[in-house]
Amino acid sequence: MDRFTRATEIDGKQFATGLLERIKAEVEAVKAETGVVPGLAVVLVGEDPASAVYVASKHRQTVAAGMKSFEHRLPAETTQAELLALVNRLNLNPEVHGILVQLPLPAHLDPNAVIQAINPDKDVDGFHVSNVGHLATGNPALVPCTPLGCMMLLKDTLGENLAGMHAVVVGKSNIVGKPMAQMLMNAHCTVTVVHSQTRNTAELCRAADILVVAAGRAGLVRGDWIKTGAVVIDVGINRIKVDGKSRIVGDVVYGEAGHARAITPVPGGVGPMTIACLLANTLTAFRRHHTLAIAA
């Protein structure tokens, strides 16, 4: 009988709870050392319900970690000039070490212009071209929160040394797929990226020691796409109807992945890591600003 008959469930919620506890302890330590606490500014434009819930959760967890939370809620009719002026004020505010502008923005605003206006040293979303370039060249960078969380879960499951493993990333978005692939390459994995135009996706996935799926398509990856003993990170969050009831599912058919070594569930896998990694990035930005050693 094969060794992997039931995949280990990677508990992202538990890992995130532990990470937040470590961040809180580190915030207390840097406060004692510098007399200052990290500050995170979050900007919400408009009344998108999902974004409002997410911003409120960020505020609660920022405060719980002992950081300062600067919340800016702007009306949907806010102009590009007004939003850029706020970003500039936050760039210049010494109490703010991290800036996040919640996406999506109302249609009349240019998100790329807003992202590029953020001081890259405060860009805790990791979307500024300066941080993207540093990541691509293997230099220290603030990296997007979701791929950062995925890497933490992978190393917790497989150990720190991922060198030589074949990683396949399904999806090539700027938010997850591309930075995830780059982080895996920086960890000395051999990386394949597949996407909607790839002709032999299933065959490539079957070769993966590490399979990261971020396609945004419910049930895309079936069990026969997964190699026995692979570690599967399912980034997908999809709302579907089953028997008239709404359910959240991933991009992987979880029930068919028992032969994997380990897999993240949806919900409860990658999702809880996002805000925890946002606060980790804020702490990293603070440490760099104050020329403190970056915690491992």
Overall average pLDDT of the 153-181 stretch: 98
Determine phi and psi for 155, rounding to 5 degrees. Answer: -70, -30
pLDDT, tens digit (0-9, with 9 covering 90-100), for 206-227: 999 999 999 999 999 999 999 9
102 is catalytic: yes
First to last CA, the chain: 39
Instruction: Name the active-site residue from 61, 122, 123, 125.
Output: 125
pLDDT of residue 242: 85
Q: Note the pLDDT tens digit of each residue in 266-291.
A: 999 999 999 999 999 999 999 999 98
Of the two residues 175 and 242, the one the predictor is more confident about is: 175
Q: Of the listed 61, 102, 123, 234, which one is catalytic?
A: 102
Q: Which of 58, 122, 172, 178 is catalytic?
A: 58
- Residue 125 annotated to the active site: yes
pLDDT per position as a tens digit, 112-138:
999 999 999 999 999 999 999 999 999
The region of weakest confidence among 60-64, 106-110, 290-294 is: 290-294
CA distance linking residue 209 with residue 193, whole number of Å = 14
| Residue 237 burial (10 A CB sphere; 0-12, 13-18, 19+) | middle
CA-to-CA separations, 5 to 1, 205, 255, 263, in angstroms, rounded: 8, 19, 12, 13
Q: What average pLDDT does this structure show over 165-175?
A: 97
